Structure 1
Amino acid sequence: MKKWSAHLKKWFAEVSDIPEDVVMGLPRLTLVGRFRLSIENYESVLAFSKTELKLAVTDGELHIAGDDFILETILKQEIILKGKVNDVRFVDD
């Protein structure tokens, strides 16, 4: 059922010209150079330090590693992370 629902949402995004991240609740990452990362559509913050940020996202977790991290903005639907980004990984459930 879950797989069918994902296919239906993807099809709807294609035919309606609404971005997939909006229809499917997927995270949207915007990296500017290596020093500013905007993450939209996250579910919750799991861990934060000067060298890592872990977020719960649809179907798993998002792990970001680097140096000198500062949370510039933290809103319900968006986080802006400043610092040197070395690694971005999705970890499945």
Structure 2
Amino acid sequence: MQRRRKGNLQTLAGLLEIPADIVLDLPRITMLGNKQLLVENHKGIIEYTGSLVRIKLSQGELYVAGAELTIGNFQAEQLLVEGTVMEIKYEV
């Protein structure tokens, strides 16, 4: 039932030319080289150290591993991770 609803929402988003990330509550992840990672539409930070940042998403978690990681900007809808990003893992 839930899959059909998501399919209907995707179809509606396409017809109305609305980005799917808005309609389906999906994160938008933008990476600038290996120095910055911008995560939009997140649900908060689960864990934060200099080598690991775990970010809660609407469906799962995003693991960002690296060196000298810092939170450059933290807002309700977007989060900027700065440092040397070595690995990104999305777990549902």
TM-score bucket (shorter structure): over 0.9
Which residues of 2 match residues 1-93 of structure 1 at below 5 A?
Answer: 1-92=1-92
Unmatched tracts of structure 1, length 5 or more: none
Amino acid at match of 2:89: R
Q: CA RMSD in A?
A: 0.9
- Deviation >4 Å, runs of 4+: none
| Percent of aligned positions that are identical | 23
* TM-score for the superposition, normalised by structure 1: 0.93
Amino acid at match of 1:58: S
2: CA distance between counterparts of 1:31 and 1:4?
Answer: 31
Instruction: State the shift of 1:2 in Å.
Output: 1.6
Unmatched tracts of structure 2, length 5 or more: none
- Number of equivalent positions: 92
1: CA distance between counterparts of 2:8 and 2:86?
Answer: 35
Instruction: State the shift of 1:52 in Å.
Output: 0.8
Amino acid at match of 1:10: Q
